[in-house]
Structures are given as structure tokens and as C-alpha cells.
Structure 1
Amino acid sequence: MIRKMLNASRLQQEVDRRTHRLQEVIEDGVRIRVPRPQLQEPDKTGCNWTMINLGNAAGFERDIEGVLKVVRAEYNLRTETKDAGNPFED
């Protein structure tokens, strides 16, 4: 499966959205702090990002790891930057 590309903010938002839709998280009313993804060399699956140090995640590690596994299979971190160009070019 070809992964979709997202920038760091959008990838962070997607993990946050899915994490806070977990039934256990909803039931406990916990707010998990989802950090920005960190670029890494592609792993054996081809995923080029990782996310560590999720805050307030004690007791939810297994569920969150499941979310990360699915999101890592669907998305890669966009690495190229958009060139806004020089508006003063002649």
C-alpha cells in the first residue's frame, strides 16, 4: 500500500483525533498529549516517522501503540518544503 503524505502538523492532528476516539480514553476522560512526529530513516515497512513521549498516556500504551501502528501504515511524513519563490525575481 502506498502511504499518503502529511506534514508534521496534520500527522499530529490525525494521531490526536484517533487517540481521543478510543473507547477507553473517552470513558476515562483522559486528555493524551500527542507530540509532533519525528523524521527518521524509513524502517523495514517504509515508514519515515516516529512519535515518542506521548503525555498522560499511562495505562493506554497498548491502545495508543495500536493507533500508531495503523497511522504509520497509512501515512508518511512529508519531507520536502514548498518553495514560495522569490517575489522580487526579475
Structure 2
Amino acid sequence: MIRKTLNASRLQDEVSRRLHRIHEIVEDGVKIRVPRPHKQEPDATGCNWTMKHFGNALGYERFVEEVLTAAQAEYNLSDADEGKDIRSLFSE
């Protein structure tokens, strides 16, 4: 399967969206903090990113792992955000 490419913000949003539509998480009213993805050398499957340290996920680790594995199989992290200086967004 060829992976789609997303930038870090869109990938973070996609993982968050998938997590927060899981019935148990919705039912419990939990808001899990999803970290930004970090680029890595492609692993054995070809995935070039990972996420660590999800916040408020105690007891929901199985769901986090399932969503993360599915997203890693579907998406790769683009280089669009690499090297971007946030100060340039505010300068004229």
C-alpha cells in the first residue's frame, strides 16, 4: 500500500480525530492530548514517523496503539514543516 503524505499538523489532527471518535473515549468524555509526530528513519514497513507521550491516555493505551498503527500504515510525514522558522510567520 502506498502511503499518503501529510504535514505534521494535519497528521496530528488526523490521529486526534480518529482517537476522539472511539466509542469508549467519547462515552467517558476523555480528551487525549496527541503529540506532534516526529520524523524518523523509515522502519521495516516504510513508516517515517512516530508519536510518543500521549497525554491523559492512562487506561486507553490499547486504543492509542491501534490508532497509531493504523495511521502509520496509511500516512507518511512530509517535509513541509521541516526547517520552517515560526518567526517568519510574524515578520513583514
For normalisation by structure 1, the TM-score amounts to 0.87
Could you say which residue in structure 1 is the equivalent of 2:26? 26
Q: 1:67 to 1:81 in 2, by over 3 A?
A: closer
* d(CA) in 2 for partners of 1:15, 1:80: 18
* d(CA) in 2 for partners of 1:81, 1:61: 28
Could you say which residue in structure 1 is the equivalent of 2:11? 11
Deviations 1:36-85 (A, max 9, x none): 00000000000000000000000000011000010000000002569xxx
Deviations 1:14-37 (A, max 9, x none): 000000001110010000000100
Aligned-pair identity (%): 65
For normalisation by structure 2, the TM-score amounts to 0.85
Q: Residue 27 of structure 1 aligns to a residue in which SS?
A: helix
* d(CA) in 2 for partners of 1:21, 1:80: 27
* Structure 2, gaps ≥5 residues long: 83-92
Q: Which runs of 4+ in 1 moved over 6 A?
A: none
What is the 5 A alignment of 1:5-84? 5-80=5-80
Point out the structure with max Rg over C-alpha.
1
RMSD: 1.4
Q: How many residues align?
A: 82
